[in-house]
């Protein structure tokens, strides 16, 4: 019987680059490094049988930020930093569309809405800032009036309990699993090796290489190591400002005559939902239990799931008959700042982490930045 290399006591492989983490950021980073130098020998290590973080467990939103989120970000991180982040997200989304066909990703250019309560302070804030936001977005996207009031759409969408809608025609939905698979196939064709089922314990840097140690007793070495571990960075890189943030999701049974169409955000993006054909996908409510949701645990919880079901009944499917068929959780990498951490850690180690729940959009451009840094 043929013995797997992982059943031996130790396997030692010399690579140019080892990337830890096979999510969006790790895969895009491998692609960008090979664009710069196609002769590189690159291996990607993943502790699960598939990426276990936000890449395969997110809700499939192709977006760059809702109005209330951008207004909040401008106030908390500064106007210039907010626009830099939006530009990075937008360019990332455009890059995805250039590399993959809509059918490959189940890409649905449906447009999206932000939902606002009638008496919310956010309504006045959006009225005061929407023109300013649109001017800034025009400079980035070349599109006029990206955000517009669209209250008349409330009845046709079947929504209840909201007073206003802001429309964004540039949002879309996609299938996260198919996106990861398409990226995986792209880098595999470029010669990248993938090793699953390896959990990293630590790395040792030497004069000429870095040795990567695993719980499985396997050692690998490379000239450079890149951490793309996002939410799972706390044990490997405890000195960096990365906090895990669980995001929980549910999906309904098929609903005959479902009127909901598009992607939707509410409460600065803490709630998000969209139609999956004639089903509803709803996620979020992390702000109802911040402390409990600061975890790498991928279990769903009664507290958050009950809140999502309440929101579903009161706002999205009022009076409809349905069941909940799927529930899952993923873990995002957050911190005091929303900007990704893209930096050199030592002579031979680097990181590209903390995507702040926007890995779909940020990873393609963050990968460009880290690849250039590693080639200096």
Q: What is the pLDDT of residues 230-287, one digit of tens each?
A: 989 999 999 999 999 999 999 999 999 999 999 999 999 999 999 999 999 999 999 9
Q: Please check the confidence at residue 170 and state whether its pLDDT lies above 60.
A: yes
pLDDT band, residue 334 (cuts 50/70/90): very high
Q: Please check the confidence at residue 38 and state whether its pLDDT lies above 80.
A: yes
How far is residue 210's CA from residue 215's CA, in Å, rounded to a whole number? 17
CATH number for 8-57+177-241+337-374 (one of 3.40.50.720, 3.40.190.290, 3.30.2000.10, 3.50.50.60): it is: 3.50.50.60
Mean pLDDT of 321-335: 95
Mean pLDDT of 326-332: 94
The mean pLDDT of the chain is 93
Q: Please check the confidence at residue 4 and state whether its pLDDT lies above 50.
A: no
What is the chain's Cα-based Rg? 21
Q: Please check the confidence at residue 11 and state whether its pLDDT lies above 60.
A: no
Q: Are 54 and 298 in contact (CB under 8 A)?
A: no
Q: Please check the confidence at residue 9 and state whether its pLDDT lies above 50.
A: no
Mean pLDDT of 172-184: 94
Q: Please check the confidence at residue 225 and state whether its pLDDT lies above 60.
A: yes
Mean pLDDT of 337-354: 97
pLDDT at 76: 96
pLDDT at 7: 47
pLDDT at 57: 72
pTM given for the model = 0.94
Nearest to 60 by CA among 281, 279, 232: 281
Mean pLDDT of 136-148: 98
Q: Are 249 and 329 in contact (CB under 8 A)?
A: yes
How would CATH label the architecture of 109-172+243-334?
2-Layer Sandwich (3.30)
Q: Please check the confidence at residue 221 and state whether its pLDDT lies above 60.
A: yes
Q: Please check the confidence at residue 12 and state whether its pLDDT lies above 70.
A: no
Residues composing the chain:
376
pLDDT at 376: 87
pLDDT at 48: 79
- Which residues belong to CATH 3.50.50.60 in the chain? 8-57+177-241+337-374
Mean pLDDT of 308-319: 97
Q: Are 138 and 146 in contact (CB under 8 A)?
A: yes
pLDDT band, residue 346 (cuts 50/70/90): very high
Ranking 5-19, 31-45, 159-173, 309-323 by mean pLDDT, the lowest is 5-19
Mean pLDDT of 199-224: 94
Q: What is the pLDDT of residues 85-102, one digit of tens each?
A: 999 999 999 999 999 999
pLDDT at 125: 97
Mean pLDDT of 168-194: 96
Counts for the chain of helices (H) and strands (E), in that order: 10, 18
- Which residues belong to CATH 3.30.9.10 in the chain? 109-172+243-334
186-205 burial, b at 16+ Cβ within 10 Å, e below that, comes to: bbeeeebebbeebebeebee
Q: Is the dihedral of CA 58, 59, 60, 66 positive or negative?
A: negative
Q: Please check the confidence at residue 159 and state whether its pLDDT lies above 70.
A: yes
Question: With 0-12 CB in 10 A as exposed, 13-18 as middle and 19+ as buried, what is 2?
Answer: exposed
pLDDT at 14: 86
pLDDT at 51: 64
How far is residue 276's CA from residue 278's CA, in Å, rounded to a whole number? 6
How far is residue 142's CA from residue 278's CA, in Å, rounded to a whole number? 33
Q: Is 139 helix (H, G, I), strand (E, B) or coil?
A: helix
Q: Please check the confidence at residue 311 and state whether its pLDDT lies above 70.
A: yes
Q: Please check the confidence at residue 78 and state whether its pLDDT lies above 50.
A: yes
pLDDT at 56: 67
Q: Are 162 and 123 in contact (CB under 8 A)?
A: no
């Amino acid at each position: 019987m043929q013995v797997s290399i992982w059943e031996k006591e130790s396997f030692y492989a010399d690579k140019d680059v080892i990337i830890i983490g096979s999510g969006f950021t790790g895969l895009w980073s491998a692609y960008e490094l090979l664009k710069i130098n196609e002769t590189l020998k690159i291996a990607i290590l993943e502790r699960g049988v598939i990426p276990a973080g936000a890449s395969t467990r997110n809700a499939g939103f192709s977006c760059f930020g809702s109005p209330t989120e951008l207004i909040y970000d401008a106030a908390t991180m500064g106007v210039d930093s907010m626009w830099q982040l939006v530009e990075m997200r937008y360019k990332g989304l455009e890059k995805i569309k250039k590399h993959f066909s809509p059918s490959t990703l189940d890409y649905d250019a449906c447009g999206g809405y932000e939902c606002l309560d009638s008496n919310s302070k956010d309504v006045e804030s959006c009225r005061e800032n929407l023109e300013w936001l649109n001017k800034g977005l025009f400079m980035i996207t070349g599109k006029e009036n990206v955000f517009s009031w669209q209250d008349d759409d409330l009845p046709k969408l079947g929504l209840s309990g909201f007073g206003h809608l802001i429309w964004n025609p540039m949002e879309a939905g996609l299938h996260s699993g198919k996106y990861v698979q398409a990226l995986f196939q792209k880098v595999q064709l470029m010669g990248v090796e993938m090793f699953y089922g390896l959990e990293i314990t630590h790395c040792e840097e030497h004069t000429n290489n870095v040795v990567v140690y695993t719980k499985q007793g396997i050692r690998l070495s490379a000239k450079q190591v890149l951490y793309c571990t996002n939410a799972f960075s706390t044990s490997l890189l405890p000195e960096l400002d990365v906090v895990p943030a669980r995001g929980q999701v549910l999906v309904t049974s098929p609903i005959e005559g479902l009127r909901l169409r598009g992607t939707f955000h509410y409460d600065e993006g803490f709630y998000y939902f969209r139609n999956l054909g004639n089903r509803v996908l709803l996620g979020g409510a992390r702000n109802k239990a911040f402390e409990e949701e600061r975890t790498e645990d991928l279990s769903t919880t009664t507290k958050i799931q009950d809140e999502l079901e309440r929101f579903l009944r009161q706002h999205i499917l009022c009076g409809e008959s349905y069941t909940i068929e799927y529930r899952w959780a993923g873990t995002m990498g957050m911190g005091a700042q929303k900007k990704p951490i893209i930096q050199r850690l030592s002579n031979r180690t680097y990181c590209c982490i903390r995507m702040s729940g926007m890995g779909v959009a940020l990873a393609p451009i963050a990968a460009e930045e880290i690849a250039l840094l590693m080639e200096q």
